[in-house]
Amino acid sequence: MTTADVPEATAVAAQQAFLAVREEEALDARPLLGGGGPLIDVHAHFYHPASPRAEWAAVNAARLRAGERIGITWHVASVLGTWGLDSPTYFASPADVTLGNDVMLALQDALPGRVRSYVHVNPNFPDHALAEIDRGVARGAVGVKLSASRRADDALLDAIAARAADGGLPILHHVWQWRRRDWPMQEASDGVELARLAARHPRATFILAHVGGGGEYRHTYHAVADVPNVVMDLSGSGVDRGMLDAAVAAVGPRRLLWACDVTIETGLAKLRALDHLGLDAGAVADVRWRNAVRLFPAGSFPGLEADA
């Protein structure tokens, strides 16, 4: 397989897996685990054959299987280059960034009723980053993904944030909750650093990634509580009791987005726990999907309309 074949191969495999899981769910006719109503996962990833993961197709299929079982209406996803094969996941080369985005856009085309794309960019290549955003948006991408290639408050991110704001594209930013040092293979940022960027770009919306994804989330809550253009996604393997309650207390349900990242079972657990936080049905719907519909460009999720 050549690199040029990778996007289509990934898309075809995902399409076949999706059809198989739809057939299985139709046969079983079981109630959805996530309850009724729309559900948007704003932090998902897919893999492809030009990555170190031999089981890439199975992992993609497992995401789609779990999504159908729960009732995920839309997966908003990104592909981070070659996931370390030819350049590091969090410092992806321009060529790898482009390949990853091509894969993601092909997946979106193949699964038009389930998948939406972020454009992943590496701010260390500013011209390439802006060109990728324009290219991705022209092909239907609905947001920008920044991982951990450059600290969030670095000036190199300003042009990207401005371009995203101009296009009404939310920026999903990888965050280490309370980063007390540098970790290997990433230049991660924390809530304080993202808040500085958000303060410089009040027209842009920043999705602070995975409050359950490692680190001290309560530090994050303090950091962004008064920064209205930062919203938080609930994904991550962490399922600490008190995490959701404190998130609601810090920023309110209008600034929270349901998401899974790489552990869908913890996403389902948090979804179920939302029902025990004392939120009314409207607030739960905000977290499940309505906030996402409000934040992403109009028409990103056909069939879903959120009230103001």
Partner 1 sequence: MIPVDVNLAIGAYPFRHVPHPDPDVLARVLAREGIARGWVAYLPAAFWRDPSPEREILYAAVGEYPTLDPVPTIRCDWPGWERRVAEAVDHGAPAVRAYPQLWGLGAGDASLARLAAGCAEAGLALVLPVRFEDLRQRSALDVAGDLSPAHVRALARLRGGPPLVVLGAGREFIEETAWALTEPERDGVFFDFSSVWGPPEDHLATLLRTLGGERFVFGSGWPLRLTQAPAANLALLPRALRDVALTGGDAIVARARNAARR
Q: Which residues would be at the binding site for partner 1 (CB under 8 A)? A: 24, 28, 33, 58-60, 62-63, 65-66, 69-70, 176-178, 214-218, 237-242, 245, 262-266, 268-270, 272-273
Selection from 246, 305, 300, 251 nearest residue 270 by Cα: 246
Which residue's CB is nearer to partner 1, number 205 or number 266? 266
Quote the least distance from Cβ 255 to partner 1, whole Å: 21
Quote the least distance from Cβ 188 to partner 1, whole Å: 11
Which residue's CB is nearer to partner 1, number 270 or number 288? 270
Quote the least distance from Cβ 132 to partner 1, whole Å: 25
Question: Pairing state of beta strands 143-146 and 74-78?
Answer: unpaired
Quote the least distance from Cβ 70 to partner 1, whole Å: 7
Which residue's CB is nearer to partner 1, number 203 or number 272? 272
Which residue's CB is nearer to partner 1, number 133 or number 264? 264
**Tokens 């076949």 -> residue:** 16
Cβ-defined contacts of 29-32 (< 8 Å, 24+): 30/69, 32/69, 32/70, 32/71
Which residue's CB is nearer to partner 1, number 168 or number 214? 214
> Could you give the angle at which helices 56-70 and 6-28 cross, rounded to 10 degrees?
40
Which residue's CB is nearer to partner 1, number 47 or number 163? 47
Secondary element (H or E) of residue 195: helix 191-200
Distance separating alpha carbons of residues 23 and 68, to the nearest angstrom: 11
Selection from 213, 218, 211 nearest residue 263 by Cα: 213
Radius of gyration of the chain (CA): 18
Residues 67, 264: contact at Cβ < 8 Å?
yes
Quote the least distance from Cβ 23 to partner 1, whole Å: 11
In the three-class reduction of DSSP (H, G, I as helix; E, B as strand; rest coil), residue 86 is classed as: coil
